[in-house]
Amino acid sequence: MSEIIDQYYSIKDSTEGQYKEKGSKFISYAYSVTSEEQVGERLEEIRNLHHKARHHCYAYKIGIDGNRYRANDDGEPGGTAGKPILGQLHSYKVTDVLVIVVRYFGGTKLGASGLIKAYKEAAKDALIVAEKKQVIIGNPYLLRFGYDQMGHVMNCIKSIDLDILDKTFAESCEVTINIKLSQQTELIHRLKAALLEVSKEQIDDDTKVPFCKIVRIEEQI
């Protein structure tokens, strides 16, 4: 049975870096992206911004496990630009990230090894200053209960340290929580036990909480 992936790391904000070698200037950009369409938009922005540059090389990883990726050399010798950029994405263990490195040619050829080092260092310079963010993958659950139960329900949620996505307090209260995929059954059972003030061993999948309806969002639509 394959392991459930319910978290990964990306970057919070866009960053820039640069590297110089023998007159050539390499300017790097790191972006948070979640689709190939966003990759295309960022590439167009950089190509317009640096329209006089000779090369706009890039690499990206998209998806929970980074299984959608691409490296592009944009006219540089094969494997000397996109691949070392992608290698830095692997090294920093991030996904949903695009790195573009723009090269302004300085008049001196760097050779294959020189290009690999330059693109690697430029990508590294943008990624090293990027703040990582942890992304939790889970299922949203809706809790619906009466106003008179608000204090008890909120205390139970807090005691289990559940992530609250949204909440509405009125005559009928609603709270949306996020449950990590790998801990779904465990956390729901703990929540029910806390609400009913019984031990977790007395709880199963069919246990109901009379004063609090608990349902996955996709099930209640």
Residue position matching structure tokens 């609400």 = 195
Q: Which two tokens stand for residue 220?
A: 């209640």
Q: Which CATH architecture has domain 138-220?
A: 2-Layer Sandwich (3.30)
CB 136 within 8 A of CB 163: yes
Contact status, residue 57 vs residue 107, Cβ threshold 8 Å: no
Query: What six digits make up the tokens of 84?
Result: 């070392």
What single-letter DSSP state applies at residue 3? P
Q: Spell out the domain ranges in the chain.
A: 7-134, 138-220
Q: What angle do CA 112, 116, 121 make, to 5 degrees?
A: 150
User: For residue 138, which amino acid is it?
Assistant: G
CATH number of 7-134: 3.40.50.300, 3.40.50.150, 1.10.8.60, 3.30.230.30? 3.30.230.30
In tens digits, the chain (221 residues) has pLDDT values of 456 667 889 999 999 999 999 999 999 999 999 999 999 999 999 999 999 999 999 999 998 877 899 999 999 999 999 999 999 999 999 999 999 999 999 889 999 999 999 999 999 999 999 999 988 788 899 999 999 999 999 999 999 989 899 999 988 999 999 888 888 899 999 999 999 999 999 999 999 999 999 998 874 43
- 210: Cα within 13 Å, side-chain hemisphere: 2
